[in-house]
Amino acid sequence: MDITRLQFFAHLTAWVPAILLVWDYLTGGLTADPVQTVTQRTGRAAIFFLVLSLSCTPLNILTGYKGTIRIRRALGLYSFMYAALHMIVFFVLDYRLDFSLIFLENFNKLYLWLGFCSFLLLSALAITSYPWWMRLLGKAWKILHRSVYIVGLLTVLHHLFARKGNLISLQGDIGAPLVYGVIVVILLVLRTPIIKRWWIQKRLKLKLPREFPGLILRYLDKPLF
């Protein structure tokens, strides 16, 4: 199977946050509080690739372009990779696996429970993302993997509540989670069967080309070599 340019770019982009972390570690760029910095940066990377992965199917519905479907699983797995690093930093670097302290300090923190549930669900999706599982689970696989939207919502809430601010009065450092929240909701709306059918019919009626044209997309779909 040829690797398209889009796939190549997706993989390349996915390693950028990891490479920057290693670079900053080696050059002393992890700020005065490296544990907090690495926690936040791995978390941000996990959300970013999760939302990219979530946008693949709706983009396909919107435009008819199929290329995004080919990078959907990889983006989801990269999100899982950063989420796993995020958890390792929390449990190992920050709390030194002191589970009683972790519990005492954090059992009252809603945002951590949301993040933890989100990670457990994402782990289940990552584990069952292989074709072997797809065959084994049949129809159930599709239902299971639709729960990635639950992961998306839980993650956005986790991010939102992890920031200093107040959603009700729209105050504080909540810009980024709000943007992610709006994107996830729009993606979810596009995925709902009614909207999806309505839009595809409209697209066909408008005689929009079945596959979104454009030099860029034709470029992206070419094999890398």
Partner 1 sequence: MGEKIKTMIASSEITSETNYLSRRDFIKAAGLFLGGAGLLAACDTTFPPVSEPSLSPTTTLPSQDRLTTYEDITNFNNYYEFTPDKTRVASLAKDFRVSPWNIEIGGLVHKQKTLGIEDVLSKFPREERVYRLRCVEGWSMVIPWMGFELNQILKEVEPMLSAKYIKFTTLNDPEQMPGLNSGFYPWPYSEGLRLDEAMHNLTILATGLYGKELPNQNGAPLRLVVPWKYGFKSAKAIVKIELVAEQPPTFWNTIAPNEYGFYSNVNPNVPHPRWPQMTERRIGETGRRPTLFLNGYAEEVGHLYDGMNLVENY
Query: Shortest approach of partner 1 to residue 99 CB, angstroms?
Result: 14
Q: Which amino acid is at 85?
A: L
Tell me if residue 8 falls in helix, strand or coil. helix
> Helix H segments across the chain?
5-26, 34-63, 69-88, 99-106, 110-127, 131-137, 139-146, 148-162, 175-191, 193-205, 215-221
Beta-bridge partners for 223: 4
Indicate whether 33 belongs to the interface with partner 1 (CB under 8 A). yes
One character per residue 69-108, x = contact with partner 1 (rule: CB under 8 A): -------------------------xxx----x--xxx-x
Residues 139, 143, 146, 148: what is their CA dihedral angle, to the nearest 10 degrees? -110
Site size toward partner 1 (CB under 8 A) is: 28
Of 157-216, binders to partner 1 (CB under 8 A) are 161-162, 164-166, 169-175
Query: Shortest approach of partner 1 to residue 85 CB, angstroms?
Result: 18
CB nearer to partner 1: give 100 or 207. 100
Q: Where on the chain is the footprint of partner 1 (CB under 8 A)?
A: 31-33, 35-36, 94-96, 101, 104-106, 108-111, 161-162, 164-166, 169-175
